Amino acid sequence: MPKNSSARTVVVAGGTDGMGRATALARLERGDTVVVVGRSAAKAADLADEARRLGAAERLDFHQADLSSIAAVREVIAHVAKAHPAMHALVLTANRQHLRRETSAEGLESTFALYYVSRYLLGHGLARQFDAAPDPVIINVAGPGTSAGSVNWDDPHLTRRYSTMRAQLQAGRANDLLAVEFAERPTSKARYVLYHPGFTQTAAINQFNQPLRAIVKVYARIGARSVADSAAPMIEWVENPPKARLTVDDRGKPVDLGRKMFDKANAARLAALTEELLDER
């Protein structure tokens, strides 16, 4: 399919699998140019085959990067800025469960680095490209709506009492605050959507250890949403962003921004902490 006049340019950070992949392919099918960031060359080859099948191979721009590395995220931003002067949408789906505590190239706890810091950097780093597009939107796919977990202000890298769940929940709450800060102190005209897709049948469920993996798989078969259902609003928001500066959506329902996880003072505090750790690196 040739590029049409209403076509958009979209970055999907974490677009080689799951909901990110579904969004990337749907947008390619609709004529958009899509930059996909992921690590796996095999998944990228599979995505390229699918793009060819859709007649969209030349509009897929795959960029291999480990987004838990600050340096690699900065390279992605530089690549996107050079190749794509206007950016209509940024879709943030990269995440991974770490069963044991791991640290990133720059020494951050890996979940915090990938699931939160990369999203902070990409959202701010592409400000100029968003401002060059007519109706830009950032879609951050995380877990808003749940109050479980918190930012561990005195130990954000979880050097003490690490668990996969604590790390995931901390980064989830950090993304709640990131969204609030974007709306409070915008660095571009991009509107922000924070989206909880609910339990979804993606490869993410294979990341658990046994016997939890077997239990999760059984539950996924009966209780999880399909990738197509969970990705459907993401695909739509790229084209029709909500009018509000910040929209928080939990499986189709708006989330009350007055809840404590959206505390504005904490949002400013986390932004300051993040800037500090980025300055050091």
Give me the amino acid identity at 88.
Answer: H
**Binders of ligand NAP among 135-174, rule CB under 6 A?**
141-143
**Binders of ligand NAP among 214-253, rule CB under 6 A?**
none
State the residue number with the nearest CB to ligand NAP. Answer: 18
CB of 172 to ligand NAP, least distance (A): 7
CB of 19 to ligand NAP, least distance (A): 4
Our CB check for ligand NAP shows the closer of 22 and 246 to be 22
The beta strands (E) that lie in 182-280 are given as 191-196, 246-250, 253-254
- Per the CB < 8 A criterion, the answer to whether 126 and 87 are in contact is yes
**Which listed range, 74-82, 148-156, 198-206, 236-244, lies at the site for ligand NAP (CB under 6 A)?**
198-206
Fill in the DSSP letter of residue 31.
Answer: T
Give the pair of three-digit tokens for residue 203: 């490869």
Fill in the DSSP letter of residue 146.
Answer: -
Q: Which residue has the tokens 């999907």?
A: 12
CB of 279 to ligand NAP, least distance (A): 23
Our CB check for ligand NAP shows the closer of 216 and 271 to be 216
Q: Which residue has the tokens 């910040």?
A: 246
**Which listed range, 18-26, 186-194, 240-248, 250-258, lies at the site for ligand NAP (CB under 6 A)?**
18-26
**Binders of ligand NAP among 111-140, rule CB under 6 A?**
114
Q: Which residue has the tokens 């979940």?
A: 111
CB of 118 to ligand NAP, least distance (A): 7
Q: Is 93 in the site for ligand NAP (CB under 6 A)?
A: yes
CB of 199 to ligand NAP, least distance (A): 4
User: Hey, which residues does 12 pair with through a beta bridge?
Assistant: 36, 91
User: Hey, which residues does 38 pair with through a beta bridge?
Assistant: 64
Strand order in the sheet with 33-38: 60-64, 33-38, 9-13, 89-92, 137-141, 191-196, 246-250, 253-254
Give the pair of three-digit tokens for residue 196: 């909880």
Among 9, 33, 170, 200, binds ligand NAP (CB under 6 A): 200
What is the rounded CA–CA span in Å between residue 238 and residue 133?
12
**Binders of ligand NAP among 26-45, rule CB under 6 A?**
37-40, 43
- Per the CB < 8 A criterion, the answer to whether 125 and 242 are in contact is no
Residues lying near ligand NAP in the complex (CB under 6 A) are found at 14-20, 37-40, 43, 65-68, 93-96, 114, 141-143, 196-197, 199-200, 202-204
